[in-house]
Each structure stands twice: as structure tokens, then as C-alpha cells.
Structure 1
Amino acid sequence: MTPGSNLPLSAVRVAVDVTAPVRLDVSGLLLAADGKVRSDDDFVFYNQPSAPGVTHSAAAAGGDTITVDTAAVPEAIDKIVVTASLDTPGATFAGTEPTGTVRNADDGSVLASFTPPRLGTETALVVVEIYRRGGAWKVRAVGQGYANGLAGIATDFGVSVEEPAAPAAAPQTPPAPSAPAAPWGPPTGAPAPVAPPPAAAPAAPAPAPPAPAPGSGKVNLDKGRVSLQKNQTVSLVKGGRPVLSSVRMGLGWEPAFQGRSIDLDASVIAYGPDRKKVDNCFFGKLMILGGAIQHSGDNLTGEGAGDDEAITVHLGGLPPEVTGLVFVVNSFSGQKFSDVAKAYCRLLDAQSGEELVRFDLTHAEPRTGVMMAKLIRQFSGEWEMTALGEFVDARTVRGMTKPAAQAL
């Protein structure tokens, strides 16, 4: 399977084995229609090995198994998410390729297999999900990574995580995500239940930069505008809820050498869950997907000083088969990006014009194409933007289709 692909389940009872060359902690979360657990009882792991229709079993080495009896899963549960985190503190998935294998739990036959690609600073993953669709059950390959461990996954899905006491030493700046409390460490004695939240609210943190240091995980819009660095991700939610229905991506650049104009073209490529191109929007095709994506036109200055071209995306109008968008810029005339200065992209609320996210490309390469950013629809329904800044040799949007697919 590839990220985002899905298959119907031909067995009522399925076992999901997650294995790797290193020790993994494997968990399952039972999610309701709102994408959250109903309570901490819906979190299945080695210290809490069962919930209605879902069980955890430990393997001798490498990884564990989550077994789902779809006939016994409560009607209120829409999906079961299978996750994996590294057992060694501070370790990342860089160089480690975990594999999720879905088997018929009764006869052991393999139904599907998925290995998430291009892992790096992630310390925890959503590997696959078992979900209902039209009265039947299916499996979807996910491969979504988190840089703040299993605690990041757990809190995203509504599990209460007890934060450890703050150390005496001053924290790094910006603060790193807190490590999870006892339930996710190696078992050392009696089973520990998932802890309830602290009785008192923690003190308000000191102001921090809007984006974390590279590798410290995704951020959201709670603190206002976010300035991204390469490979950083921002979730387009505020206060736990999506805040946008339409966004505008403004792209701008200036010639690095005074007096020499540079004509660049901004485009967006829409992809499905199998990374196959659905359509692309550029100066020669200003509207696609029934008007859900619109281009401002070649060299037309958008709202706000500096934008050379702008692309508006009505997120709510995108068809379900569109799960990823990659924003690219090309030099049709063949001039290299090393001749370009101050290239940037910024994401704005299309209705209010408020700038939400900015990515300034400070280091250019002598190539003719660059992937600036991608927007990915999460299986929870929200969208995330990741700054890319990846250069390729391509002078047209057509030449960007394959490398952009690989960047998803």
C-alpha cells in the first residue's frame, strides 16, 4: 500500500502487526465520529490491553499487534487508529523502516502491507487505520509522523496525558514538547492507567517564537502568524478547530542582480491519496476543480505588497479525491533560482486578507524549479501546511508533477 491508499477488509477479525529492526511500542485508539476517543478507556496499549473489539498483544521482539474484531466494535466508533512509537528515549525513525502488516486474525493470511516512506525526525507514527465506510470495513495506509512522541498522537485524539514536573534547569528556547508520562515508558511494575489531567491549570508560558526549532513538531495558529523554516509544518487549526474555508497562497520574488528582470511562474498541483495527479492550476489554466482552485494570472500583483502571483484555494470546495496540494514556482525562461532574491510564499485568509503563515526561502540553488510548500488533508479532516524549499530541474509545471508527488 502507499500513503492514503485503502482496501476493503475481507475478514471480520484482523490483526495489525507493526514491526521494525528496533523495539516499538504499538497502540490502538478507538475514535468516534468527531475524530476523538470517547474516554481514556478507548486507548489500547500494553498497560491497557483491551477495549470493546480491540486488543493489544506483545511480540517477543520488534513490535506488537493490535487485533480488531470489527463485529464487536461499538457502533459509536468510526475508526481504529494503529500507532507506533520508538521504545528508546530520544530515538527517531530516521534510518528505521517500520512495516504494518494486516492479517486475517483467524487464518493468518496477509491482507495488506504498508511501510511509511521518507521518515526522519519522527518519534511516533500513525501507521494505518481500520475504518467504517458504507456499512463495510476498510484499511487505509496513513504514515503520519509526529516529532513529539506518542504523547503528541494521544493528545491529538483526545487522550489525557499527565505532564511531568518541570525540571529545575531552564528549558531550551523554544521549549521542546513535553515527554509523555509513565504509561508510555517500558513496563516496570504494576500496570499504570492513563493519568487524568492535572487538577490545576499550568501557569501561562512565557512568549515563544511562533514556530518551533527544526524537528520539534508541528504548530497551529493559536499564537497568530507562523513563520516557518524548511520542513516545518503548521496545522490550520485554532483552538482545536479549523479556522479557514478559503486560503490564498501568495508567491513573490525579486531579481538578485539589479536591472535584470526574472519571469517566474507559480502553479499548484492537486493529488489524490495514491499520489496520482488530479489536475494542475497555472497561468495557462486559471481555474480547476469547478472553481475550487483559482490562479490570479501571469505576473498579476496580488493583494499585499510583493506578491507576484497568487493562487486561491476553497478548501471546502475541493472534491474528496484531492488530499494533497503542492505549490511550485518555475523559471520558464531558464534563469536559475540563484539569480533570484527574497523568494517567499505566504498563506492568507482569502476572506479577511490576514497573513497566517510565511516561508522565506533564503538559500537558493542554481536550478529552474522549486517546490515551495504543500497542503495535506489529514485523515481527521484538517489541513496542514509544510514548508518545502526543494529545488529541481524543471522549467514548467508539467516537469514538477513527479518530484512534487514524491514530496507528499
Structure 2
Amino acid sequence: MTPGSNLPLTAARVAVTVTAPVRLDVSGLLLTAGGKVRSDDDFVFYNQPAGAGVSHGTTPAGDTITVDTAAVPADIDKVVITASLDAPGATFAGTEPTGTVRDADGGAVLAAFTPPQLGAETALVVVEVYRRGGGWKVRAVGQGYADGLAGIATDFGVSVEEPATPAAPAAPPAPPAPQAPPAPVPQDQWAPPAGAPAPLAPPPQAPAPAGPPATGKVNLDKGRVSLQKNQTVSLVKDGRPLLSTVRMGLGWEPARRGRSIDLDASVIAYGPDRGKVDSCYFGKLRILDAAIQHSGDNLTGDGAGDDEVITVHLGGIPPEVTGLVFTVNSFSGQKFSDVAKAYCRLTDAQTGEELVRFDLTGAEPRTGVMMAKLIRQYSGEWEMTALGSFVDARTVRGMVKPAAAAL
């Protein structure tokens, strides 16, 4: 399966196992049509292994969430299966977790999904099992979170309490000998103390490892975001998805004085199977019933500001389009090493406010670059990721396959 794709389930009881080269904690959340749990009882994990029609278990292959669709309450619309990393400070970068869906009774494999291009994420929504037309289906999701299982739980309405601050100890009569620091508690290991009730409260986190911080995922709450390569911004402000019209401006300057360079900005629209739906460029200025529009060709790159602009009506993108990749090509065949100050920026079409900016540095001697991608999440919001990946392609046609691979 690929992100966003779905399949009908041919078994009433399915088992979803998530495996990786590292230790994972796998959980299941029962969600209503509003996308939230009814109560904390709808959060099924190793410390609360049974819910309504959903259970957690451990097999030799790994942690498994079993969904008995006939026993799931009628007011539950979907069961979301998540995975989080057990080791403190670890991310999914370099790992390839795979969710495998099996017939829980016969053992036959019904579907498998490996989320692509993971980085700073510490938790994932892997797949969801959901109702559709009187039956049940499974959808590949692959949405990442940089704040662990607690971030997922909070998003879906689980009450995640902050750990209490311990009281300061009484002063001893004499200076004590230095104490060794307590052993770090594994991230997301939420076992309550003996005899206490079982609130879903994460323990104190281990200190972050030395080195540069992970980029993670940010939103627009604090204003304009300047992205680094491979960093992602969620187009959400004040808790609400941005569903207005935005403009993707792309600009560049010739690196050598007096030498004009003809670059062409384009956007390629893809479906959930990474198949091309359509592309918008200087030769096709409107696509998807004008939900995406191109400003026209700039032959030189001269002048201040955006050289070419692509307007995207986010609310008008048809549901069969789940990903957009913004590309720039050197139609004349000159290399990007001869281009300076290449950038892309996302602005609010109504106010002109700049929301997101990505300044490309370190150009390579190639003729095509994938600047950024917009991915529609299963929750309906859009996320923008800075790419900055170079390829050898002089037209948008040559960008279709590499851009699909970048989704």
C-alpha cells in the first residue's frame, strides 16, 4: 500500500502488527465520526490491553492490535493504529516500520504498508481500520508526530496529564554524598505506580541527546515559518486547518551578470497511489477546474519578487488529489549551479501575508529541482515539506517520476 490508499477488508477480525528494527510500542484508538475518543477507555495499549472490540497483544513478530469489526460499537467510526519508539530521544530516521494486516483467524496477509521518508518523527499513525458503506476498509496513513505517543493521544482527545512536580527533600543535617542521577525512564512508558489508578500520564522525559535539535513539525501559530531542507510545516493556525487560497511564489536570479536563465515553475498533482492526476505549468495554466492556476512564463528571472506564481485554492482541490509537488526546471538546459537566490514561499492570497519560506542553498549542476510538496493528511489538513532535491530534467514531464518518489 502507498500513503492514502485503501483496501476492503475480507475478514471480520483483523490483526495489525507493526514491526521495525527497533523496539516499538503499538497502540489502538477507537474514534467517533468526530475524530475523537469517547473516553480514555478507547485508548488500547500495553498497559490497557482491552477495549470495545479492540485488543492489544504481543506476538513473536511484534506488538499487535486486533480489531473485531463485529464487536466494535456502532458509534465508533474508525480504529487508528499507532506506533511509537520505546528508546528515549530516538526518531524514525533510518528505520522502516511496516504495518501488516492479517486475517486474525486464518493468518493470511491482507495488506502491508511501510511509511516512506521518515525523519524526526517519534510516533506514527500507521494505518486505520474504518467503516465504509456497511463494510470495513483499511487505509495506509503514515502521519508522523515529533512529540511522541502523547502528541497522538492528545490530538485524538485522550486525557494526558502532566507529571506532578516532586516536593523538595528536607535539608539533611550534613551534606550528603553525591547521588547518581536516576535512570532515565523510557519514552512513552506509561505504567502507573503500584496501587495508584491508571491515568494516561507520561513520565518525565530523559534529557535530550547532545547535538542539533530535530526539526520536527511546526505550525503557523507563531507567524511566518522559515523552513530548512526536509522540514515540514502543518498549515494549521490557532488549531484550525488553513483552507483558504494560497500562492506558491518561486523566484531566482542569474548567478552570472548579464546571462538570463529561463526557468519554469510547475506543480504536479498526484492521487493516493502516487499516480499523476494533472500538472500545471506555462503550457497549461489552469487545472482541476481552476483550483490551481499558473501566472504564466517568465523567460529571464529578471526583476524583484516572485518570478512565477502558482495559486492553489486548497478548499477546491478534489478529494482524489492527495499530494502536490512544486518543481522548477531549466528549459534552456543551463544548470542550477548558474542560478542564485532560488526560493519558494507560500503566501495568503487574500492578505499577501507570507506564511512559509524556503531559501534553496547549495545548488547542484543539474536542470531540475523539486522545491516543496504539499500533502493532504487524512484529517483534512495540509502539510508543506521543503525538498530541495535536484534531478536531470528540463521539463515538467521529466519531473513526474522523481516527484512521485518524493511523496
Q: Normalised by the size of structure 2, how large is the TM-score?
A: 0.87
In 2, Cα distance between equivalents of 1:371 and 1:297: 19
In 2, Cα distance between equivalents of 1:349 and 1:214: 29
Deviation at 1:250?
0.6
Runs (4+) of structure 1 moved beyond 6 Å? 180-183
Deviation at 1:93?
2.4
Residue 51 of structure 2 aligns with an amino acid whose one-letter code is A
Deviation at 1:192?
6.4
- Greater mean alpha carbon deviation, residues 306-315 or residues 122-131: 122-131
Deviation at 1:80?
1.1
Query: CA contact under 8 A between 1:224 and 1:356: conserved in structure 2?
Result: yes
Q: 1:361 to 1:371 in 2, by over 3 A?
A: same
* Residue number in structure 2 paired with 1:71: 70
Provide structure 2 residue ranges, at least 5 long, that are not aligned to the other structure: 167-183, 203-211
Q: 1:308 to 1:77 in 2, by over 3 A?
A: same
Residue 35 of structure 1 aligns with an amino acid whose one-letter code is G
1:141 has 2:140 as partner: yes
1:59 has 2:63 as partner: no
In 2, Cα distance between equivalents of 1:100 and 1:195: 24
In 2, Cα distance between equivalents of 1:54 and 1:148: 25
* Residue number in structure 2 paired with 1:277: 276
- Greater mean alpha carbon deviation, residues 51-60 or residues 226-235: 51-60
Q: Secondary structure at the match of 2:217?
A: coil
In 2, Cα distance between equivalents of 1:236 and 1:36: 20
* Residue number in structure 2 paired with 1:95: 94
* Residue number in structure 1 paired with 2:188: 184
Q: 1:44 to 1:152 in 2, by over 3 A?
A: same
After superposition, give the CA deviation of every residue in 1:179-218 in whole Å (9 maximum; x if it has no partner).
x999921758648634479xxxxxxxxxxxxxxx763311
In 1, Cα distance between equivalents of 2:309 and 2:232: 21
* Residue number in structure 1 paired with 2:320: 321
The structure having more radius of gyration, on CA atoms, is 2
In 1, Cα distance between equivalents of 2:249 and 2:187: 44
Query: CA contact under 8 A between 1:31 and 1:80: conserved in structure 2?
Result: yes
After superposition, give the CA deviation of every residue in 1:13-58 in whole Å (9 maximum; x if it has no partner).
1111112232210001122223222332221111111221211112
* Residue number in structure 2 paired with 1:207: none
Q: Secondary structure at the match of 1:371?
A: strand
Query: CA contact under 8 A between 1:47 and 1:183: conserved in structure 2?
Result: no
In 2, Cα distance between equivalents of 1:333 and 1:391: 16
Q: Secondary structure at the match of 1:152?
A: helix
Q: Secondary structure at the match of 2:400?
A: helix
Q: 1:255 to 1:237 in 2, by over 3 A?
A: same
- Greater mean alpha carbon deviation, residues 214-223 or residues 378-387: 214-223
Give matches, 1:1-400, under 5 Å: 1-60=1-60, 63-164=62-163, 184-185=188-189, 187=191, 190=194, 193-195=198-200, 215-299=214-298, 305-400=304-399
Residue 385 of structure 1 aligns with an amino acid whose one-letter code is M
Deviation at 1:370?
0.6
Query: CA contact under 8 A between 1:183 and 1:193: conserved in structure 2?
Result: no
Query: CA contact under 8 A between 2:192 and 2:199: conserved in structure 1?
Result: no
After superposition, give the CA deviation of every residue in 1:244-272 in whole Å (9 maximum; x if it has no partner).
32111011111112221111100000000
Q: 1:284 to 1:139 in 2, by over 3 A?
A: same
Q: Secondary structure at the match of 2:59?
A: coil
Query: CA contact under 8 A between 2:266 and 2:281: conserved in structure 1?
Result: yes
After superposition, give the CA deviation of every residue in 1:360-390 in whole Å (9 maximum; x if it has no partner).
1122111111111100000111100111111
After superposition, give the CA deviation of every residue in 1:55-83 in whole Å (9 maximum; x if it has no partner).
111235x5211111112222222211111
Residue 307 of structure 1 aligns with an amino acid whose one-letter code is D
In 2, Cα distance between equivalents of 1:228 and 1:145: 17
Residue 150 of structure 1 aligns with an amino acid whose one-letter code is L
Q: 1:116 to 1:182 in 2, by over 3 A?
A: closer
Residue 68 of structure 1 aligns with an amino acid whose one-letter code is V
Query: CA contact under 8 A between 1:53 and 1:68: conserved in structure 2?
Result: yes
Q: Secondary structure at the match of 2:84?
A: strand
Residue 231 of structure 1 aligns with an amino acid whose one-letter code is N
In 1, Cα distance between equivalents of 2:299 and 2:81: 46
Q: 1:407 to 1:300 in 2, by over 3 A?
A: same
Query: CA contact under 8 A between 2:19 and 2:98: conserved in structure 1?
Result: yes
* Residue number in structure 2 paired with 1:202: none
Number of paired residues? 379
Deviation at 1:311?
0.5
Deviation at 1:166?
8.5
In 2, Cα distance between equivalents of 1:74 and 1:127: 22
In 1, Cα distance between equivalents of 2:32 and 2:185: 24
- Greater mean alpha carbon deviation, residues 122-131 or residues 180-189: 180-189
% identity of equivalent residues: 82
In 1, Cα distance between equivalents of 2:313 and 2:51: 39
